[in-house]
Amino acid sequence: MKKITIDPITRLEGHGRIEIFLNDNGDVENAYLQVPEFRGFEKFCVGRHVEELPRITPKICGVCPEAHHLASTKACDAVFGVEPPEAAKKIREMFYCAHMIHSHIAHFYVLAGPDFIVGPEAKVEERNILGVIQKVGLQIASEVIKHRAYAQEIQAMIAGRATLPVCGLPGGISKPLTEEERKQIEEKAKSCVEFAKFTVKAFENVVLKNKEYLNIVLSKDLYYMESYYMGLVDKNNCVNFYDGDIRVVDPYGKEVAKFKPAEYLDYIGEHVESWSYLKFPYLKKVGWKGFVDGKDSGIYRVAPLARLNVADGMATPLAQQEYEKMYKTFGQKPVHHTLAFHWARVIELLYAAERMLEIVQDKSIVTENVRNIPTKTPSEGVGVVEAPRGTLFHHYKTDEHGIVKEANLIVATGNNYAAMCMSVKKAAQGFIKKGKVTEGLLNMVEMAFRAYDPCLACATHSLPGQMPLIVNIRNKDGEIIETLRRD
């Protein structure tokens, strides 16, 4: 049996490594997406002052540290049983919208952009950020850079630093917002709304109006998977990134669970495989049935498309219009087309910008009252937010001094891990026939998991907009008989 190793030299949550096994006919027998890195935060969070975890856990990921910061801060609120003042909650949410804007802009233009704007069939040399700039023009490229920078500046203003924030404390935030800062953020937020509108339009013009691209998105062969979906919703069942209940829908769109963060253990279990350091979350009530899709398998998906699939709509007007348009185009809900994650992401960008503007125009956020001092004895708490890459859970148990005794973390990308494994296998099966491995495999496998914007791959895309891939094809004895590379 032949073994093919795809070793993308990627980082963040580690190298991702793909092993593909071919049977005697040269067809794909099985494929494995391995995550070979592990640092053990669950353990070394133990013994810490719990209020330090909002500063320690963002170091899990330098790309979405804001998500860990807020999930951790909310878990601390719960540990101390303290409710932050209204203004503090709003400022946290506004800060978080800025993070979403930053992350979604980077993903759409720099990471996914090359696939769609330059085109999946374009030459490899052009399928990168430089190709995107060439296609959209320097002026637009500078708008992209400007608005990513705006989002970073807003985060730094509120949290002290743009990367690895420090402002969250149990009971609120460390620094009130001044009227001067509020005005600055308002100006930037207005500009972000305009830019998000432009981006939605660009997606429509470049992708939806191009029949060839649209067919790839709508294809049910390679990028299609029927699964459960999970995401946070507000009290009206609209998408919310910062707070709310967790809602789960089945592959037919029926709500099968709606629960509070503190109840997550009743609904989510994590399966362990000995060939990967990343665990596989699944729906406990359905059960772990292995790498299979459908209603009987507990595998679920998270992140932009999942969030839209579980919600009844968007809480802001422009995003709501786009939401309706997307579901009308597919003519079904939930949408199971993996590449629709990109569309959902653009709609979320618009929502994040609109929501940020809405909050910053609420002058009640300019107040000294942004912290409540905890008075109760600390014990246990769960904090959940929607990270750009999906639902993120932090759960801490402490002693009476607030010293951490147990810490449990389910990270955003982890939720999609099982689904990503299956997408990779499907792409491999589609592109490897009778032992023939084509260059297309590399692109298509890459596109299959780029849709999820997985943390273990996003850094790879950050500069050139493509992932260097190496495929080793080995014979039974493990000797390399052929090497394919995509520089």
Partner 1 sequence: MSNKLKFAFYWSASCGGCEVAVLDVNEKILDVAKIADIVFWPVAIDVKYKDVEAMPDKSIDVCFFNGAVRTSEQEEIAKLLRTKSKIMVSFGSCACLGGIPGLANQYSSEEIMYEAYIKALSVTNEEKVMPKILTKVSEGELELPRFYEKVYTLDEVVEVDYYLPGCPPTAEWIAKAVEAIAKGQLPPKGSVIGIDKTVCEECQKERTSEKKIKKIYRPYEIIPDPKKCLLDQGIICMGPATRGGCKAACPNVNMPCRGCYGPAPNVYDQGAKMMSAVASIIDSTNEEEIEKILSDVKDVIGTFYQFSLEKSFLKGNIKPQIETETYVGEERREYPRVMADYLVVYRVLTEEEKKDITVTKNLSLGGMCLTTNRSFNKGERIILEMKMPFLLQPVILLGEVVDSREIVKDLLYDTHLQFLSTDDKTKELLIKMINV
Residues 400-419 within binding reach of partner 1 (CB under 8 A): 401-403, 406, 408, 410
- Interaction between residue 47 and partner 1 (CB under 8 A): yes
Minimum distance from CB of 169 to partner 1 (Å)? Answer: 5
Sheet holding 228-233, edge to edge: 255-259, 245-249, 228-233, 300-301
Of positions 146, 263, 462, 484, contacts partner 1 by CB under 8 A: 462
- Interaction between residue 274 and partner 1 (CB under 8 A): yes
Subset of residues 328 to 347 that bind partner 1, contact rule: CB under 8 A = none
Minimum distance from CB of 4 to partner 1 (Å)? Answer: 11
- Interaction between residue 367 and partner 1 (CB under 8 A): no
Minimum distance from CB of 236 to partner 1 (Å)? Answer: 29
By beta-carbon proximity to partner 1, the closer residue of 145 and 254 is 145
Specify the stretch interacting with partner 1 by CB under 8 A; choose among 32-40, 177-185, 321-329, 359-367. Answer: 32-40
| Number of CB atoms found within 10 A of residue 223's CB | 23
Minimum distance from CB of 249 to partner 1 (Å)? Answer: 21
| Nearest one of 401, 408, 409, 377 to 49, comparing CA atoms | 401
Cα 300 to Cα 249: distance, rounded to the nearest angstrom: 9
Minimum distance from CB of 337 to partner 1 (Å)? Answer: 29
By beta-carbon proximity to partner 1, the closer residue of 85 and 119 is 85
Specify the stretch interacting with partner 1 by CB under 8 A; choose among 6-14, 92-100, 194-202, 212-220. Answer: 6-14
Subset of residues 103 to 132 that bind partner 1, contact rule: CB under 8 A = none
- Interaction between residue 377 and partner 1 (CB under 8 A): no
- Interaction between residue 48 and partner 1 (CB under 8 A): yes
Cα 445 to Cα 461: distance, rounded to the nearest angstrom: 14
Minimum distance from CB of 232 to partner 1 (Å)? Answer: 18
Subset of residues 161 to 220 that bind partner 1, contact rule: CB under 8 A = 161-164, 166-167, 169-171, 174-175
End-to-end CA distance of the chain: 27
